[in-house]
């Protein structure tokens, strides 16, 4: 298992590579090229420069989060083949710079949704929160505006401007698309891309839909055990795998995360570990990573990963904003560093007890 942290390039991150390097147990970063418009090939020279910057700081660049998928692919339009070729060419360039795992999502139009990016908890810390009634009263456009106001000046991954400009038209398009058609478009993507992921030795790791239920009449498919089974069976290659995001999947109280980890072991290549505190079945606040701060049992989750032989990448997911930090919502340094070391502590204890048992 390798513990990494998400990091945004081009000076668009309040957290420096040096700070990440000084966080105990972190071997690298999950990063991206947010300035390359969706659908275009990620340039090799830019990737090489980025890799050098990360390596010079003493960290690895083995994970990319995310290369976004052009809407024409998700919509199944004839123009998709050209965008698929660009995706494949990007995989080639990622391979050239030593990337081994690619996190992406197949959510239509919007990536993740929250009603507030700076909800204040009792202890004064601020978190991302989700109130279903508020979210359905908004539309993606008004949510984007509300989010921008709370983003502390940082860009929000998944809410890129090229995505937003077409939003209204895209939403109408998807509202008339059946879920079966959406799965078929996903299979078309996988069958085109996975042979190249194998060739370039890059594990594809789809991120679950967040939150894991439909919004605004848009198809949402990576939400629970059944749907993940369907997804994995679309293409049987081990390179067709998952980013197991405990916060996203854990927002659905019916998901039994440790048992899902056991079932999908071997196909989980990347894990986002965070906790959530439910107010009811659909409303929740993100919380500190510690089990006692939320509803997820992080011990059982880490134990399931450990015992199923997980050897991919883990990153602490969204942290709270604490100690006066001003950072991109979810991606400050302090709470993620605390979370990472809590998770590493769990892993060490589970691993050592397991070894003792075997002696």
Instruction: Give the binding-site size for ligand DNO (rule: CB under 6 A).
Output: 11
Task: Identify the residue whose tokens are 């998901």.
Answer: 255
| Residue linked to tokens 């105990």 | 24
**Minimum separation from the CB atom of position 349 to ligand DNO (A):** 27
Is 87 tagged catalytic?
no
331 is catalytic: yes
8 lines the binding site for ligand DNO (CB under 6 A): no
Interaction of residue 104 with ligand DNO, rule CB under 6 A: yes
Helical residues (DSSP H) of the chain, grouped into ranges: 17-21, 44-56, 71-75, 80-96, 132-137, 140-149, 161-165, 167-175, 179-199, 225-234, 246-250, 257-264, 298-307, 334-358
Is residue 105 near ligand DNO by the rule CB under 6 A? yes
158 in contact with ligand DNO (CB under 6 A): yes
Going by C-alpha positions, the residue among 338, 44, 9, 301 that lies closest to residue 155 is 9
317 is catalytic: yes
- According to CB under 6 A, which residues from 43 to 102 bind ligand DNO? 65-66
Please identify, using beta-carbon distances, which residue of 58 and 158 lies nearer to ligand DNO. Answer: 158
Decide if residue 330 touches ligand DNO (CB under 6 A): yes
Q: Which residue from 80, 132, 203, 207 is in contact with ligand DNO, where contact means CB under 6 A?
A: 207
**Is 272 a residue of the active site?**
yes
Q: Which is nearer to ligand DNO, 64 or 177 (CB)?
A: 64
DSSP string, 228-279: HHHHHHHS--TTEEEEEEHHHHHTSTT--HHHHHHHHTTSEEEEEE-EEEES
Closest by Cα among 200, 212, 210 to 237: 200
Catalytic residue among 83, 200, 318, 334: 318
Nearest residue (beta carbon) to ligand DNO: 66
| Rounded distance between C-alpha atoms, residue 135 and residue 141, angstroms | 11
Residues at the interface with ligand DNO (CB under 6 A): 65-66, 103-105, 111-112, 157-158, 207, 330
């Amino acid at each position: 298992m390798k513990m990494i942290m998400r990091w945004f390039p081009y000076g668009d991150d309040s957290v420096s590579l040096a700070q990440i390097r000084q966080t105990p147990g972190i071997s690298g970063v999950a990063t991206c090229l947010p300035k390359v418009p969706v659908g275009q090939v990620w340039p090799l020279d830019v990737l090489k420069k980025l890799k050098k910057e990360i390596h010079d700081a003493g960290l690895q660049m083995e994970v990319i989060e995310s290369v976004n998928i052009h809407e024409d692919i998700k919509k199944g339009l004839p123009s998709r083949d050209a965008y698929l070729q660009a995706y494949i060419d990007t995989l080639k360039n990622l391979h050239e710079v030593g990337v081994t795992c690619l996190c992406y999502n197949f959510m239509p139009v919007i990536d993740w949704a929250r009603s507030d990016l700076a909800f204040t908890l009792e202890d004064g810390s601020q978190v991302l929160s989700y109130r279903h009634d508020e979210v359905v009263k908004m539309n993606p456009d008004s949510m984007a505006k509300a989010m921008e106001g709370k983003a502390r000046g940082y860009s929000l991954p998944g809410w890129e401007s090229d995505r937003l400009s077409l939003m209204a038209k895209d939403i109408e398009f998807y509202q008339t698309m059946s879920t079966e058609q959406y799965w078929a478009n996903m299979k078309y993507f996988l069958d085109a891309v996975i042979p190249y992921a194998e060739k370039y030795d890059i594990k594809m790791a789809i991120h679950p839909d967040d939150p894991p239920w439909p919004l605004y009449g848009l198809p949402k498919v990576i939400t629970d055990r059944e749907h993940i089974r369907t997804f994995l069976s679309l293409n049987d290659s081990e390179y067709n795998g998952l980013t197991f995001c405990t916060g996203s999947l854990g927002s659905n109280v019916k998901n039994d995360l440790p048992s899902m980890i056991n079932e999908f072991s071997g196909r989980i290549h990347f894990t986002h570990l965070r906790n959530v505190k439910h107010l009811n079945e659909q409303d929740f606040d993100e919380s500190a990573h510690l089990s006692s701060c939320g509803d997820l049992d992080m011990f059982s989750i880490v134990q399931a990963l450990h015992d199923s032989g997980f050897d991919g990448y883990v990153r602490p997911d969204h942290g709270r904003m604490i100690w006066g930090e001003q950072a991109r919502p979810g991606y400050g340094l302090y709470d993620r560093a605390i979370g990472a070391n809590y998770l590493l502590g769990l892993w060490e204890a589970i691993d050592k007890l397991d070894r003792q048992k075997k002696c």
